[in-house]
Amino acid sequence: MMPRIAIVGRPNVGKSTLLNRLAKRRVSIVHDRPGVTRDRVSIEVEIMGRQVEIIDTGGIGITDEAQLDAEIDQQIDAAISSADLILMLVDAKEGLQPLDHSVAERLRPLEKKCHLVVNKCEADRELDSIAEFWTLGLGNPWPISAAHGQGVNELIERFVADIPDGGEKEATPALKISIVGRRNAGKSTFINALIGEERVIVSDIAGTTRDAIDVRFEKDGIPFIVIDTAGLLRKGKLKGSVEFYAQSRALAAIGRSDVVVVMIDAVHGISQLDMRIAREVVDRHRPCVIAVNKWDLAKDRTTMEDYEKYLGKKLPSISYAPVLFMSAIHARNVTKCISLVQSLSKQANKRVTTGILNRAVDDIRNGPRARVKHGKEPKIYYATQVAVMPPTVAMFVNKPEYFTPQIRRAMENRMRDLLEVPEVPVRIFYREKGRKKDE
């Protein structure tokens, strides 16, 4: 088992900042507004040669959405109970607060290793004031500045001895699946149904999920990481930096995933925002599944065949993607999504020999030709595969500029059929034959 470290404390003491510092990248959203973090945000990091899962939690005691207090508290309890080591953060600038005592009282009875970390110790005056935190009864307070990195390496050296054995690197990397869609499409409900527990908060409140949340699970011994993302909005409807960063994390999740699940609300149909999400997936060349959720509420109005035709008209850029009709709230067809994801991953990692590829090029060359203007006929000489995920081909031609967007789309569709990868994108780079240029 991978060791787990939970970061807990009252709001705005710097828990998300510390997680980002340990991860060495921006994972959790950092903001001055209390209660921004709601779910358990976890990340796998390497600490002194070992893989460790670090868990960020919501602030204990205060949120910006009173309706979610119980759900956030439940997520904090789950993080604490599953952790092998707990880091309790306090704020040196604000000093000891009554809520700090409440958090400490929650942790002291636990039979778990717990380190008291005093954050925001950027100046000598903060270092001089840390003695008051001894009264929390959690041992020696350790001063750090998560924002500037001061004392963080020393903190790691201090707590690494308390991490239990485990955390060796996996022989098979986990397959990463990002779940994207507009708000209230059912992304979080889908993830909870997929892993069989209340891992992420589900609420009717629009925009409940803010961070991109990585959830690790196994199916038939195969590791997966499913990424829950914030519901996407039109740019004109973003109401502040928190929503802006939530959108940025969601779009970044598409790029770092192996397969994307595009969640469609069957009741509301396809919107301009769904079309934009499809374009984002295409631009990042990710294989995807179109998951039509809430089908139990829409099936009386249309058939699957008619809805697939509707999807093809509205989302032509990902018309090659498989379609899954499901009901996340009733867990219908949810696990079937994993089979589709594995099939797409296999196709996206397919590598063919140069001989097979060039026979496909011959087939294209000898097939129907596009209309050309002023003698600018596109010619293909040969091709070679340069990467997988997705299958990526370098095609050597007479003039790349002769290959119009229409011709390029037709080439990609034809290449997908010839290489027998019908449900994933194929990326083609056009190179002028004889040009000595590395890109």
Cα 198 to Cα 407: distance, rounded to the nearest angstrom: 47
218 shares its domain with 112:
no
Report if residue 167 sits inside a domain.
no
Cα 98 to Cα 409: distance, rounded to the nearest angstrom: 63
Cα 89 to Cα 9: distance, rounded to the nearest angstrom: 5
pLDDT in tens, 115-126: 999 999 987 777
341 shares its domain with 406:
no
Residues 182-197 have a mean pLDDT of 87
- Using DSSP bridges, classify how beta strands 85-91 and 4-8 pair: parallel, antiparallel or unpaired: parallel
What tokens were used for 341?
């994801």
Report if residue 169 sits inside a domain.
no
Report if residue 378 sits inside a domain.
yes
What is the CATH number for 373? 3.30.300.20
- Residue that finishes a domain, picked among 162, 192, 222: 162
DSSP for 205-217, written as a single string: STT---S-EEEEE
Q: How many CB atoms sit inside 10 A of residue 269's CB? A: 14
Number of compact structural domains in the chain: 3
332 shares its domain with 358:
no
Cα 28 to Cα 146: distance, rounded to the nearest angstrom: 13
364 shares its domain with 325:
no
Q: What pLDDT score does 126 carry? A: 73
44 shares its domain with 96:
yes
Phi/psi at 31 (5° precision): -155, 150
Mean pLDDT, all residues of the chain: 84
Whether the CB-CB separation of 266 and 274 falls below 8 Å is answered with no
pLDDT in tens, 221-246: 888 999 888 767 666 666 656 666 67
Q: Report the predicted TM-score, pTM, of the whole model to 2 decimal places.
A: 0.78
Q: What pLDDT score does 407 carry? A: 87
pLDDT > 70 fraction of the chain, expressed in percent and rounded: 85
What tokens were used for 359?
């026979």
- Residue that finishes a domain, picked among 324, 347, 370: 347
Residue 439 has pLDDT above 50, yes or no: no
- Residue that finishes a domain, picked among 162, 184, 218: 162
**Structure confidence at residue 218 as a pLDDT band (50, 70, 90):** confident
DSSP for 111-161, written as a single string: SSEEEEEEE---SHHHHHTGGGGGGGSSSS-EE-BTTTTBTHHHHHHHHGG
First to last CA, the chain: 42
Cα 364 to Cα 367: distance, rounded to the nearest angstrom: 5
Report if residue 366 sits inside a domain.
yes
**Structure confidence at residue 371 as a pLDDT band (50, 70, 90):** low
Report if residue 266 sits inside a domain.
yes
Q: What pLDDT score does 438 carry? A: 46
**Structure confidence at residue 247 as a pLDDT band (50, 70, 90):** confident
What is the CATH number for 255? 3.40.50.300
What tokens were used for 212?
């991109």
CA torsion, ordered 399, 404, 410, 416, to nearest 10 deg = 60
124 shares its domain with 226:
no
327 shares its domain with 369:
no
pLDDT in tens, 266-280: 998 898 889 999 999
153 shares its domain with 265:
no
pLDDT in tens, 284-323: 999 999 999 999 999 888 999 999 999 999 999 999 999 9
The CA-based angle 262-255-277, given to 5 degrees, is: 35
Q: Which domain holds residue 60?
A: 4-162
Helix (H/G/I), strand (E/B), else coil: 35 = coil
Q: How many CB atoms sit inside 10 A of residue 367's CB? A: 9
Report if residue 200 sits inside a domain.
yes
Cα 385 to Cα 361: distance, rounded to the nearest angstrom: 12
156 shares its domain with 270:
no
Residue reference for tokens 């707590």: 159
**Structure confidence at residue 252 as a pLDDT band (50, 70, 90):** confident
Residue 207 has pLDDT above 70, yes or no: no
277 shares its domain with 211:
yes
Phi/psi at 345 (5° precision): -65, -40
**Structure confidence at residue 6 as a pLDDT band (50, 70, 90):** very high
CA atoms within 13 A on the CB side of 213: 26
155 shares its domain with 12:
yes
Quote the radius of gyration of the chain (alpha carbons, Å): 25
Residue 199: beta bridge partners? none
* Total count of residues recorded for the chain: 439
Report if residue 17 sits inside a domain.
yes
Q: How many CB atoms sit inside 10 A of residue 306's CB? A: 10
Q: What pLDDT score does 311 carry? A: 95
Helix (H/G/I), strand (E/B), else coil: 361 = helix
Whether the CB-CB separation of 327 and 296 falls below 8 Å is answered with yes
Report if residue 170 sits inside a domain.
no
* Strand ranges inside 251-408, DSSP E: 259-265, 288-293, 323-325, 380-387, 392-397
334 shares its domain with 224:
yes
**Rounded to whole angstroms, what are the CA distances from 5 to 55, 75, 217?**
6, 14, 18
